């Protein structure tokens, strides 16, 4: 498979929501200085970010912490405590991208 075919496959995977496949395909392409390499780096980071959001949303905090710091750097977690009438505190988590 050619460089551009791999790039197209990775981009298709990203836009189809298959972020794991997108990172698998785009990571080897992200090392150069050409335009596809630069775009690959960006979409690799965005795919890692999407994976982190999914993991955090399902309680996989330890797994999300192991992802690329560059991918997580654009993610802000907002914890909003909510006090219930029964004395318990619940926390609403919201995710926001910078």
Residue 4 CB contacts under 8 Å (≥ 6 apart), including other chains: 36
pLDDT over threshold 60, residue 98:
no
pLDDT in tens, 32-68: 888 888 888 888 888 888 888 888 888 877 777 776 5
pLDDT of res. 8: 92
Kind of pairing, strands 89-97 and 75-83?
antiparallel
Give which of 49, 2, 37, 7 is closest to 25, Cα–Cα.
7
């Amino acid at each position: 498979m050619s460089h551009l075919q791999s790039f197209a496959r990775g981009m298709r995977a990203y836009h189809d929501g298959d972020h794991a496949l997108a990172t698998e395909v785009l990571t080897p392409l992200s090392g150069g200085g050409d335009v596809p390499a630069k775009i690959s780096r960006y979409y690799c980071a965005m795919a890692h970010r999407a994976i982190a959001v999914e993991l955090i949303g399902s309680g996989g905090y330890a797994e999300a912490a192991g992802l690329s710091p560059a991918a997580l750097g654009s993610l802000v977690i907002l914890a909003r405590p909510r006090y219930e009438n029964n004395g318990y505190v619940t926390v609403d988590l919201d995710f926001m991208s910078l």
